[in-house]
């Protein structure tokens, strides 16, 4: 999560090409990862927090101006 989101944030800050799409991909990737982890090891409270982070990133990216 750290490296991918750091790269995405840097790309966003530099106003790189397709930065919004990259943010949507990073957020949805995090949500998908947490869903797989949920099915693999069961519920952990931190998974809910990370899922919320992924959903928030997707919502902010979807509502961002281009």
4 pLDDT exceeds 70?
yes
pTM confidence score = 0.83
65 pLDDT exceeds 80?
no
Q: With bands split at pLDDT 50, 70 and 90, how would you rate the model's confidence at 39?
A: very high
In whole angstroms, what is the distance from residue 16 CA to residue 23 CA? 11
- Residue 13's pLDDT is 86
Mean pLDDT along residues 9-37: 90
DSSP secondary structure of 23-64: HHHHHHHHHHHHHHHHHHH---HHHHHHHHHHHHHHHHHHH-
In whole angstroms, what is the distance from residue 49 CA to residue 65 CA? 26
């Amino acid at each position: 999560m750290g490296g991918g989101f750091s790269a995405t944030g840097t790309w966003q800050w530099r106003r790189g090409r397709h930065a919004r799409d990259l943010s949507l991909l990073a957020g949805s990737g995090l949500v998908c990862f947490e869903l797989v982890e949920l099915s693999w090891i069961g519920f952990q409270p931190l998974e809910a927090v990370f899922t919320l982070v992924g959903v928030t990133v997707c919502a902010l990216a979807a509502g961002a101006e281009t």
